[in-house]
Amino acid sequence: MDIQFALSILLFVLPAYVANALPVLLGGGTPMDLGKSLGGKRILGDGKTIRGFFAGVLGGTVAGGILTLLIRVPFFPSAQFQFLAFALMSFGTMAGDALGSFLKRRLGMQDGKPFILDQLMFLAVALLLAYPLSSPEPYAPIPLVALFAATYVLHLGSNFVANRLGWKKVPW
Ligand code: CTP
Ligand code: MG
């Protein structure tokens, strides 16, 4: 994988990273599940809020719009496709994040407990939604594995820093 390809892949997922990071700073308030439970366990939990969801979707989409004005990622046939993919990925990020929490709650895990789904589910759903709009290059096995591995490390590192800065209760 050459540097230019690796950088293109990073730009490809940058709006998803922005969407994933913003709720930590801007979230809070009413939970998306409105406090409701399913089979004695919360549907999503207090960590998934309506404000956080919309902050992620809108913030990621705005970041994607700015990025599209500044630079074209080579996997998209046009700027319009790129922006649409970034908007869909921002939504996919927040939907995947909520799906991860839904699965954690079904497994009986408390809010905030670290789990591999925290790092990877948002990326999986974001990539899935962008798939129809992108060329297949980022979805080849080697870039995919590299992307998930890099995201895992970056997510753990940034959460550790966010915790040290007092933005996040737990370091994961
Ligand atoms: N957050 C939010 N709304 C969202 C997602 C996240 O308000 N839709 C905020 C919450 O304050 C949450 C913090 O970002 O506590 C960290 O998010 P995350 O790690 O995804 O949630 P957890 O609290 O760890 O809960 P879970 O176990 O469900 O992942
Ligand atoms: Mg968490």
| Predicted pLDDT at 171 | 87
Q: How many angstroms separate the alpha carbon of residue 168 from the centre of ligand 2? A: 9
pLDDT score of 164 more than 90: yes
Specify the range with the lowest mean pLDDT, choosing from 18-32, 79-93, 106-120: 106-120
Which one of 18, 41, 49, 165 would you pick to mutate in the ligand 1 pocket, going by the greatest count of ligand atoms within 8 A of its CB? 49
Average pLDDT value over all residues in the chain: 96
Give the per-residue pLDDT at 155.
92
Can you give the pTM of this predicted structure? 0.95
Is the residue at 75 inside a domain?
yes
pLDDT of 1 reads 75
Q: How many structural domains are present in the chain? A: 1
pLDDT in tens, 125-160: 999 999 999 999 999 999 999 999 999 999 999 999
For residue 115, being part of any structural domain is answered with yes
Range of the domain at 114: 3-164
User: What separation in angstroms does the CA of 27 have from each of 20, 55, 159?
Assistant: 11, 7, 15
**Residue reference for tokens 């549907």:** 43
Residues in contact with ligand 1 (CB, 6 Å cut-off): 23-24, 27-28, 45, 47-49, 52-53, 97, 101, 104, 111-113, 118
Q: Cβ distance 90 to 68 under 8 Å?
A: no
In a domain, 171, yes or no: no
Distance in Å, CA 24 to ligand 1 centroid: 7
Per residue in 35-90, pLDDT (tens digit) is: 999 999 999 999 999 999 999 999 999 999 999 999 999 999 999 999 999 999 99
Task: Please give the pLDDT value at position 172.
Answer: 84
**For the chain, what is the radius of gyration of the CA atoms?**
16
Please indicate, yes or no, if residue 172 is contained in any of the structural domains.
Answer: no
